[in-house]
Chain A
Amino acid sequence: MVNENLVKDVVKEPYKYGFVTDIETEKIEKGLNEDIIRLISQKKEEPKFLLDFRLKAFKKWQKMKEPDWAGLGYKKIDYQDIIYYSAPKQKQKISSLDEVDPKLLETFDKLGIPLTEQKKLTNVAVDAVFDSVSIATTFREELAEHGVTFCSISEAVKNHADLIEKYLGTVVPASDNYFAALNSAVFSDGSFVYIPKGVTCPMDLSSYFRINSGDSGQFERTLIIAEESSSVSYLEGCTAPMFDTNTLHAAVVELIALDDASIKYSTVQNWYAGDEEGIGGIFNFVTKRGKCLGKRSKISWSQVETGSAITWKYPSCLLLGEESVGEFYSVALTNNLQQADTGTKMIHIGPKTKSTIVSKGISAGNSKNSYRGLVKMGTKASGSRNYSQCDSMLIGDQASANTFPYIKSQQPNSEIEHEASTCRISEDQLFYLQSRGIEFEEAVSMMVSGFCRDVFNQLPMEFAAEADKLLALKLEGSVG
């Protein structure tokens, strides 16, 4: 017989990244209006086209209504009570990491992010974003040798304005949805990646997002362009301190893959989720979308979602190019009063396109975990295939697990398969493991890990270890 309380104890594990870095920051006043947008644009010394892009998005946002179809119950967000730009004060130009405020380096050190020289051995290039600005990007010279551009989006606006103008907003238009419009109007920083024709990126690229300030929102924007026959693997990690207020995070990620290019985008999202009573936590409203423009291009999303009070996120693929491939692998874990509404959209437009969806949801406590996905076969998607699998695991009888797949086909010569199931940690299996001398906590961990294996197998090495550890932390104390 499973001891209910034991499971509850196991599920309770404090948030380890909840500290605040005491650093002098430059903030602008609260509120959102045209002047604020002009101010952000001016601070970042942006060209006119970008300011116009922002203002147009703002106009559209004003006319839009906050979506409520996901049925997420949360306190109304006062958009005038948010600071839209906050940056740690430091010297204007940084030539080497030694000039970065040591406090900032210490922060990322604590989070286990390899920014300092001695950690470069890990061979992952990192772009670290602190509140509204990118503070450091490592391995730039090495990447430049291969022609790879990896920098913050503000730098890209200055140095690669043509690419920004050509691609920004082409995958996620400003009017796409309420939060994308908000992001388009006020986005502060984020990463920009450009992989030239025929280049396989020599190392994994990584962005690390840290929200430090309690009253400012984070609105980052990521743009990745993979030219013909190139490939890149990109990792993204997120943490935030513990505040008893809710912080808004509304990001936009756009991926573009041309002929034969491949992009792998992995996320471990561990924003602060609020306490047991649901006080505080990040509201995570993210629009992520990839466009497989070229023939035989491939975009693969993998994500481990464990944090945030509210997650509203549907990384999608627009499969335009012939024989292009979209993939989505996701693990979402919710506990206490967390709510996660996540899934994907696979829009098959071109012929012979293929997509795979594997989603694993684990709900514990009083949380709500929903998979919401769309698979659409357009009239020209002849010979296309989709396979989706959504599994939910329930821990305790207070949590809810929902599955809402929308499936639409207009092409007879295509195949769609979807399956979903629900299970719980089986008493028989637990008993068996325990009878073999395995501790209860470890047994739970093994079963959760086994449940998520299909997804973990898809994560890059660095992340797979981190993800396993993260779930272990969230679910079973020190054992892992």
Chain B
Amino acid sequence: MEIIEKIKTNKSTDNLTEIQKICLDKLQSSPLPNPKSEQWRLSNKSKFSNFLNYSVNEKNPKFDIPFPNTSRSSIRLVIGDDCQINLIEENYSIKQLSEDKLVKYLKEQISYFDQNENWSDLLNLSLNCTKNTLGLKITGSEIPPIEIFSHASSNSLNAKTLVIFLEKNCDIDLLQINLGKDNSSLSQSTFFCLEENSSVNHGIVSYGENKSNLLKSLNVIQQKNSEYNLGSLHFKFNYARFEIRIKQSEGNAKTNIKGMQITKKDEQISTYTKIDFNGPNGFLDQINKSLADDKSHAIFEGSIIVPKIAQKTDASQLSRNLLLSNLAQIDTKPQLEIIADDVKCKHGATISQLNEEELFYMRTRGITLTEASKLQLSSYFQEIISFIPVSKDRWDLLDKLLNEK
């Protein structure tokens, strides 16, 4: 209940937007997610309550982007920065979604929400004001890469929402960056709608600092013949939860996901994915990697749902995990729910530590143990990092990961 009170005391009820009111109403019946449900069972309770402990902040203080300046060829947007974008070029256009459209779309989405599964979205939308919502409609081709930042300010809870409509035959590279500051909580929900024949290379990099928390959800709807590629990387958060929900609304679409989470100290980072095939000939290739060190806890739970209509689906899911310390733990749960009979579905999961034989081989060649471990880790990381668009050439993510203390 506290969280609802918090939102209400922050604003007089009259100032709440329509969406906020709907979401608050929904939250009223069950203000917190059910801790016994599969989606929330493993979530660290004290860390989660810590997430909610900060006061809600709608203001956006200036912040220094710890990443290189934008190059001329890319577009950089910061959610909540009063950014007005209205680009109309010869080949493409990027326009702000009108408020009516945005509200209509979000209302429709909320009507499909499951109280428990979409709790993060409900929280995000009930916290959020119009200012911290960015809605974009993108059309055309040869669009320069786009970078979108969401950030939290110190000692507060921030909520940022992103809605993107990708029109037919459109093709973009998009990098989303979530930044957590000291003692902060960031709630970030993204809604993506891919129309026919569109294609996205979507990268998500979430980078926290001391005691920062993140609740990130991603809802993607793919129409037929669309292609959605996601490369994601989450690290340095005290508590982070990443939820991916992808729906191939008519099948005949392609989805590639490569994600990674790295936990150290006593951090807990979890990834939950749900891929819903709602038509025939769907394709999915998913790999999720975790690395857990010190006393940390990494969680992956992925479900693939193939109903009767989704014949000829080809889906594979792999969860690879490295456990590097005696006190760390890893939970992984890949799941398949299949009704259609003419499908190819498989999943796999492994948990182990660095390969000893490979380490030994490198050491016999004069490479020190530290160097050899680094080499192994870099190949482990590289597969995911090379899949993250825009950043890979300019930002030395690999170095960041390898030299992170």
Residues of A within 8 A of B (CB): 377, 379, 392, 394-424
Contacts and interface: CB of A to CB of B under 8 A. Distances in A.
A414 B344 CA distance: 30
B339 A400 contact: yes
A68 B342 CA distance: 30
B237 to A, nearest CB: 21
29 contacts: A392-B338, A394-B343, A397-B308, A400-B339, A401-B339, A402-B337, A402-B338, A405-B333, A406-B333, A407-B332, A407-B349, A407-B351, A408-B330, A409-B330, A410-B329, A412-B326, A413-B353, A415-B350, A415-B351, A416-B350, A416-B352, A417-B348, A417-B349, A419-B346, A419-B347, A420-B346, A420-B347, A420-B348, A424-B342
Given A396-B341, A409-B330, A418-B348, 17 more contacts: A392-B336, A392-B338, A394-B338, A397-B311, A398-B308, A399-B341, A400-B338, A410-B329, A412-B323, A412-B326, A412-B328, A413-B353, A415-B351, A416-B351, A418-B350, A420-B334, A420-B348
B321 interface: yes
Contacts of A411: 323, 326
Nearest to A371: B336
A421 to B, nearest CB: 4
Interface in B334-379: 334-353
Interface of B: 308, 311, 321, 323-326, 328-353
Contacts of B330: 407-409
Interface centre among A412, A415, A420 (most CB of B within 10 A): A412
B351 A409 contact: yes
Q: Taking chain B's interface residues, is the majority helix, strand, or loop, or is none over half, making it mixed?
A: strand
A403 B338 CA distance: 9
B378 to A, nearest CB: 19
B247 to A, nearest CB: 19
A336 to B, nearest CB: 15
Contacts of A409: 321, 323, 329-330, 351
Contact of B343 (A396, A405, A422): A422
The 9 closest A-B pairs by CB, nearest first: A394-B341, A421-B346, A418-B349, A412-B323, A416-B351, A419-B348, A422-B345, A403-B336, A409-B351
A408 B311 CA distance: 32
B346 A397 contact: no
B348 A395 contact: no
Contacts of A400: 337-339
Given A412-B328, A418-B349, A420-B348, A397 B333 contact: no
Given A421-B346, A424-B341, A403 B323 contact: no
A415 B350 CA distance: 7
Nearest to A396: B341
A359 to B, nearest CB: 13
A377 B326 CA distance: 11
A131 to B, nearest CB: 38
A412 B324 contact: yes
A422 B334 CA distance: 14
A224 to B, nearest CB: 32
B56 to A, nearest CB: 35
A422 B337 contact: no
B348 to A, nearest CB: 4
Given A416-B351, A418-B348, A422-B346, A405 B334 contact: yes
Contacts of B343: 394, 422, 424
Nearest to B343: A422
Nearest to A395: B341
Contact of A407 (B326, B333, B339, B341): B333
Contacts of B334: 403, 405, 418, 420
B331 A408 contact: yes
A418 B300 CA distance: 14
A401 B332 CA distance: 20
B267 to A, nearest CB: 16
A408 B330 CA distance: 6
B347 A403 contact: yes
A181 B44 CA distance: 30
Contacts of B332: 407-408
Nearest to B340: A397
B338 A405 contact: no
Given A415-B352, A422-B344, A401 B326 contact: no
A346 to B, nearest CB: 13
B323 A405 contact: no
Contacts of B353: 412-413
Nearest to B322: A412
A415 B320 CA distance: 11
Contacts of B321: 409
Contacts of A379: 326
Contacts of B342: 397, 424
B151 to A, nearest CB: 34
Contacts of A397: 308, 311, 339-342
Nearest to A425: B341
B339 A399 contact: yes
Interface centre among A417, A418, A422 (most CB of B within 10 A): A422
A415 B348 CA distance: 13
Contacts of B351: 377, 407, 409, 414-416
A413 B325 CA distance: 9
A358 to B, nearest CB: 15
Nearest to A407: B332
Given A400-B338, A415-B350, A420-B347, A407 B331 contact: yes
B238 to A, nearest CB: 20
A409 B345 CA distance: 25
Given A398-B308, A399-B341, A405 B349 contact: yes
A366 to B, nearest CB: 10
